[in-house]
Structure 1
């Protein structure tokens, strides 16, 4: 008797349909938000999120800074909810990301920011949630129900939801065309599942793993480290490939393996050089991403902002199969639940 694949893998495979649905359904709010930002011209942006959603914010930070020259900072929700500070966010753009839209600390921080005069935007899957009600603009993720404890399709949708707004603000036709073809790139990524399963096999006995990346892929590395803890019980940490030599490299002497994300953008050459240096040190390094020669090569989408999406999807396939190789159920991680409410 065959058993169905874990929900984690089933939901990750929905990514192409999710992105198609999101792009088609968000046209009106994308134009309204772009018009408001064009008129208000925020001097900086702040993000507020937890867990996987916060890792998506790292990717969005690089996107906003590289494309709009808009400085972005991550807010600690407890600054307001525990310490009682009411930040001066007049004129700022606040982006809140949440799958459920129910975490009280995120909701309360958005309400505080809106009262302070910020333009508030929620990237949220549950459109009737508290977060969606408090934000001025809502970009729905349009994932449908996500039942797996380990978020996959909602993280991927969080990477893409703001990109049409950036395309509207920059007027970049190349990004608009790339977004239209992104679902096809994700479908191609799904054909790499056997390769992801094979790569995962070699890590089945790993207890520790370091995940490296630079630039737009760094938020994917953060998410990868979280998922390895969550679904595989592996103590994993994410580092910038540039920062790794400033101390963490010491761990190579203990035989800790590495997983490095590659890129095909402005960070590609520096990342490749860092990995080549590690290779000369006999580091146990395998790579994943759009750069030619990666151990698991993902599709190049045609734009730096969208390349991390297939990389993240390929990693989810890797992580799901790694959990299975280790005899674990990625849908039932010990001590965890789908929705975490923090204050």
Structure 2
């Protein structure tokens, strides 16, 4: 397939620096209001509710809250309430719901239940007039503007960052504040990797299977990467913890399945590099994306100066890679078979 224009997935990925810049500017007032509520009644734990790419963003948010605040985070299964009819005991919890459309009935109903039970509910949502936005006590808009590509890019990355100004203030981290200030420019520099991303994608052109590995904060990016590879290229991709991969899935190396790893420069760096080195020594075909690369080839993304924000350029670089991989395979990443932009589940 030959396209006469760049796919929407690439066009929207290139908008991300401006999206994050707008989000940081426009959300200042609601950030202060939410901070006041959290300081007045500090939560004892947090819970997330989301589906698909939004749930992968929640994995990153989980690691951010746990590593920076020591606040335990659980993932709520929306069907527990909507199908099984259970009223969860969520008094004292911070409940974060993430959605681009804010239209999925099971997420909306779970947030309504959580708010009625006494949780402090926050919606990270792009459509500010949505049912989810009305159901939550606080709304942190993603400020993506219209997102037309079926494969979400802007909304996923904006979901990673929407709560971070709150986190920076609660943790008192000057490094995180500085990283957020500089993040739009760092993302602009990341867009300069597009040609290299296309070159890396070329080597996976004929892959039918691909395993994606990460540790810690990058785990949610690996989950998102596996989903996008399925959506846009029809590749059977699965994500694993680099620590758990050796417990059984490593057997797949004997079948010649290639690997894609996310390489951090945070506290998970040494453990991740050791795991990747052992896999390469065992004969793995492995390339990496991220700020930490060691001796492995791939895409080295610019560091933001903080572990929590480092995942954002990594995810953006992957989106460039995924879109070009689909094009190399003669596919249009904007037209995945059987899929639509908004999925409503109960």
TM range (shorter): over 0.9
CA deviation after TM superposition for structure 1 residue 162, in Å: 0.5
Deviations 1:45-95 (A, max 9, x none): 000000000000000000000011100000000000000000000110100
Deviations 1:261-303 (A, max 9, x none): 0000000000000000001001011111000445210000000
Counterpart of 1:3 in 2: which secondary structure? coil
Matched, 1:305 2:319: no
Corresponding residue number in structure 2 for 1:259: 260
| Aligned residues of 1:29 and 1:138 also touching (Cα < 8 A) | yes
Structure 1 CA distance, aligned partners of 2:256 and 2:53? Answer: 28
Matched, 1:17 2:18: yes
Structure 1 CA distance, aligned partners of 2:28 and 2:238? Answer: 37
Corresponding residue number in structure 2 for 1:49: 50
Pairing of 1:185-334 with structure 2 (within 5 A): 185-293=186-294, 294=296, 295-334=298-337
Structure 2 CA distance, aligned partners of 1:167 and 1:322? Answer: 36
Superposition TM-score, scaled by structure 1 size:
0.99
Matched, 1:128 2:104: no
Deviations 1:69-122 (A, max 9, x none): 100000000000000000000110100000000000000000000000000000
Matched, 1:340 2:343: yes
Structure 2 CA distance, aligned partners of 1:149 and 1:4? Answer: 17
Structure 2 CA distance, aligned partners of 1:174 and 1:300? Answer: 12
Matched, 1:8 2:9: yes
Residue range with higher mean Cα deviation, 275-284 or 285-294: 285-294
Structure 2 CA distance, aligned partners of 1:257 and 1:172? Answer: 38
Structure 1 CA distance, aligned partners of 2:255 and 2:224? Answer: 24
CA deviation after TM superposition for structure 1 residue 173, in Å: 1.7
CA RMSD of aligned residues (A): 0.9
Structure 2 CA distance, aligned partners of 1:173 and 1:286? Answer: 33
CA deviation after TM superposition for structure 1 residue 34, in Å: 1.2
Q: Count residues in correspondence.
A: 343
| Aligned residues of 1:31 and 1:168 also touching (Cα < 8 A) | no
Corresponding residue number in structure 1 for 2:62: 61
Deviations 1:142-185 (A, max 9, x none): 00000000000100000000000001111212211110100010
CA deviation after TM superposition for structure 1 residue 2, in Å: 7.3
Structure 2 CA distance, aligned partners of 1:243 and 1:40? Answer: 37
Runs of at least 4 residues of structure 1 off by over 2 A? none
Counterpart of 2:307 in 1: which secondary structure? coil
Corresponding residue number in structure 1 for 2:163: 162
Counterpart of 2:247 in 1: which secondary structure? coil
Structure 2 CA distance, aligned partners of 1:174 and 1:301? Answer: 10
Structure 2 CA distance, aligned partners of 1:305 and 1:2? Answer: 36
Structure 2 CA distance, aligned partners of 1:36 and 1:251? Answer: 49
Question: Structure 2 unaligned runs (5+)?
Answer: none
Structure 2 CA distance, aligned partners of 1:14 and 1:158? Answer: 15
